[in-house]
């Protein structure tokens, strides 16, 4: 938890106001107090939330969703948005529903999974051992839904679902209250039996064989696909050559790279950005503030050579893991740009060469970048308080 600081003005009496009669001084003080209270109310009163918009934006074969954190936050804002789209996807399942998510604590998601089971859908869940004690997971287990945990030091860090062998839900968003309503996140719902087959293979390795992390060998998924004429690459960590795939995509940049990174500590990925910058490619990025100055972070290294890298302005967490290349190619998923993601965790990401999808992520980058330049303020008349940050 963060701590807050308040400052108490010097005790003031009527005798300290020189040249003002006591009664008028009292009236003046009352008037000043009213102004201060009004100002405090205006500074701290949450703005009205935008209307919930569960509909994603995309094409015939995908929908893309972004969370819209509000600050100051209010529990009344925690409704609708991406969570409505997620629950609608679950409610649409008719045969099978495989869920692999690092953290599930949002009870409406658990209830939606139980509804699916009640209508005859086979529901299976994989989650991270460290997060297996939430009330939502307990509710699933009590309702008869099997839940498997990884039971190992590395994280089961995926955030995906496979629905009826036809649809894949994936992205950076955990199925949690803070990830949906406080943190910046993305998700996509993709219709492709071929892509669903890849994710089903990864899920089966974890759920059926308990093959987590390095225990699963590569070669049983198809990394290069074409969906509705669009080239798509699909990688799983740590078994696939994930760093090389990201490097190869970034090396193809000719004009512009933008990125949003919750954690960016992998020097080999940063090396490509440095090389592309030397070649004249325009690069802009936003780092999650917490950890940006850590020794392993690439934040200072990129800034030292003049790359436009900012710390984010969300008082909670900027949780994206995204590159957009030449306004044409998007890299996104659960995969932070770190050695842990590459070598230890169970992760997934996509590389999609679709200008329409790229435009959506560019627009999200613009919003995150603008907030990094102009972060919200809090406190009483501009007195700063420490932030409480959630993950």
Catalytic residues: 319, 321, 326
385 exposure class (CB count in 10 Å sphere: 0-12, 13-18, 19+): middle
Query: CA nearest 315: which of 175, 171, 184, 172?
Result: 184
CA distance 79 to 321: 24
Whole-angstrom distance, CA of residue 23 vs CA of residue 174: 60
Contact between 136 and 107 under an 8 Å Cβ cutoff? The reply is: yes
At residue 133, the 3 state secondary structure works out as coil
Q: With 0-12 CB in 10 A as exposed, 13-18 as middle and 19+ as buried, what is 77?
A: buried
Distance in angstroms (rounded) separating the CA atoms of residues 185 and 181? 9
- Convert 101-128 into a string of H (helix), E (strand) and C (coil): ECCECCHHHHHHHHHHHHCCCEEEEEEC
How many Å apart are CA 104 and CA 219, to the nearest integer? 30
Cα-Cα-Cα-Cα torsion 337, 260, 373, 35, nearest 10 degrees, comes to: -100
Residues 99/199, Cβ–Cβ less than 8 Å? no
Give the integer Cα–Cα distance in Å for 1 and 42: 24
Please report how the helices 242-251 and 267-278 are oriented relative to each other, as an axis angle in degrees rounded to 10. 10
Across 76-223, the runs of DSSP E, i.e. the strands, are 96-101, 122-127, 147-149, 159-163, 167-171, 186-191
């Amino acid at each position: 938890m963060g701590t807050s600081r308040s400052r108490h003005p010097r005790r003031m009496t009527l005798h300290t106001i020189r040249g003002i009669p006591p009664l008028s001084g009292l009236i003046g003080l009352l008037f000043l107090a009213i102004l201060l209270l009004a100002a405090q109310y205006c500074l701290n009163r949450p703005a009205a939330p935008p209307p919930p918009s569960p509909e994603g934006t995309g094409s015939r074969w995908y929908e893309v969703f972004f969370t819209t954190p509000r600050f100051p936050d209010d529990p009344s804002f925690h409704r609708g948005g991406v969570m409505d789209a997620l629950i609608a996807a679950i409610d649409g399942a008719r045969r099978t529903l495989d869920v692999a998510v690092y953290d599930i604590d949002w009870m409406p998601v658990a209830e939606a999974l139980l509804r699916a089971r009640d209508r005859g859908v086979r529901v299976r869940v994989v989650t991270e051992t460290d997060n297996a004690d939430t009330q939502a997971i307990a509710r699933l287990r009590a309702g008869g839904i099997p839940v498997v945990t990884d039971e190992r030091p590395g994280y089961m860090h995926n955030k995906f679902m496979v629905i009826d062998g036809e649809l894949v839900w994936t992205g950076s968003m955990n199925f949690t209250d803070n990830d949906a309503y406080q943190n910046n996140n993305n998700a996509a719902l993709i219709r492709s039996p071929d892509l669903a087959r890849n994710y089903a293979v990864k899920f089966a390795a974890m759920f059926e064989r308990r093959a987590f992390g390095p225990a699963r060998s590569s070669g049983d998924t198809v990394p290069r696909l074409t969906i509705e004429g669009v080239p798509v690459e699909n990688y799983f960590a740590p078994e696939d050559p994930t760093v090389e795939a990201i490097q190869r995509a970034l090396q193809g940049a000719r004009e512009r790279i933008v990125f949003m990174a919750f954690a960016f500590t992998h020097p080999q990925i940063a090396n490509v950005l440095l090389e592309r910058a030397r070649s004249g490619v325009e690069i802009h990025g936003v780092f999650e503030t917490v950890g940006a100055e850590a020794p392993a972070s690439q934040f200072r290294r990129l800034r030292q050579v003049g790359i436009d890298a900012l710390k984010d302005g969300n008082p909670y967490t900027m949780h994206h893991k995204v590159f957009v290349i030449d306004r044409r190619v998007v890299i996104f998923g659960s995969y932070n740009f770190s050695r842990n993601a590459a070598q230890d965790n169970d992760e997934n990401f996509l590389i999609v060469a679709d200008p329409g999808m790229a435009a959506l992520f560019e627009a999200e980058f613009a919003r995150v970048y603008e907030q990094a330049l102009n972060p919200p303020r809090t406190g009483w008349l501009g007195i700063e308080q420490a932030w409480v940050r959630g993950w």
